[in-house]
Amino acid sequence: MGDISATPPLTRTSVQEAHERIKQYIHLTPVLTSTTLSGFASEPQSQDVLKGTEWEGQQPARPKIRFFFKCENYQKIGAFKARGAFHALSRLTEEELSKGVVTHSSGNHAQALALAARTRGVKAYIVMPTISTPSKISGTKGYGAEVIFSGSTSQEREAVTNDVIARTGAIMVPPYDHPNIMLGQGTMALELESQVDDLIHKEPQLSVTGRSKDKNLDAVITPCGGGGMLSGVATALSGTGTLVFGAEPRFEGGNDAERGLAQGERITSVKTLTIADGLRTPVGKIPWTIISDNNKVRGVYSVTEEQIKAAMKLVMERMKVFIEPSAAVAIAVCLYNEDFRKLVEEEAGPEGWNIGVVFSGGNTTLEAISKLFAVPDKVAERAVGVLGRDGKRIAENVPG
């Protein structure tokens, strides 16, 4: 997508400029709160829930948390990816646009680029794995893109994409590994920061401290697949004092960022069929430069498939918010990963943290969800049971 050296620097100012470029094309997605989920996160996990985990038998953490959910599932095309796609196209010349654009994606970036291309009157070629969610495939075609199918690994996707470029001359718009994509995704953090300030200024009781401060957003946690969103959010919030964390599925090594940080080197290949299908890719080279910087991303944490399902169930049943599995990974970390919860307990102290959680998308179907929960999930049952046994501990749910 052109010479990377000519792209804007990865700074908060560049994210602000990106927001000015794309705000006419995107939705200002809402920020919701939930007394139920905040209350649940602020209670220690039971030994029943911790049974079978690496934390079994340990004293559970007691963090004090108030959640603010950035609902990118209500974004155009149903996911945050619209931000990066519109920004990337805004940086292309008319000559480049005339050649058409191409990308590879399991679905959300595919739909986002298809929509952005249609908006600009540009031809879009989208390479999608054959195992992509049917609704994402039909959505991409519905925006007028030409869909070409490939295998599920990043190497297979890239090979087919290169064939399309050789045949058509189309300009590659990567799903995550490019500064223009990262800057576009980071625009959600600017909105979240401002929206949380506005909410707490109007209703101080929404804050974990019960009052408004100069900086109300203590931390943000986002899902992490290729790393475009996490690195973009970290870039947007760099130097503000708001800590940034990432969340991944650990099934079949899907937690490549977490493992890469532990070994001090980016993991370049991932092959996982986690239910969080939007997070099946390894972190890109450029996002890794941000994610591996401890001054910008404080840490990345992972959760199991059962924990993702449990969190998804809670969000959909208690908040009445429709999300896809990938979007549930960040809240799952806050609810179930004891390493993250202990960090919050220790660093936030008795005041606690206001934590922004990104619901990255809602592109799934009732059929897919029905299959996901066809077999009773013991973790989800235990989690909901904890909420149901003590009505005094957790207040009535407040979705908005």
Is 371 labeled as catalytic in the residue annotation? no
Instruction: For residue 382, give the nearest of 270, 276, 306, 284 by alpha carbon.
Output: 306
Annotated catalytic residue, options 14, 34, 42, 106: 106
Write the CB contacts of 84 (distance below 8 Å, at least 6 apart in sequence).
109, 112, 176, 180, 181, 182, 183, 184, 185, 228, 232
- Phi, psi for residue 104 in degrees, rounded to 5: -125, 140
Task: Put the strands of the sheet holding 243-249 in their side by side order.
Answer: 31-32, 65-71, 353-359, 219-223, 243-249, 299-303
Nearest in space to 208 (alpha carbons), one of 60, 39, 374: 39
360 catalytic per annotation: no
> One of 14, 34, 76, 81 is an active-site residue; which one?
81
Phi, psi (deg, nearest 5) at residue 248: -140, 160
Tell me how crowded residue 195 is: count the other CB atoms within 10 A of its CB.
18
Catalytic residue list:
81, 106
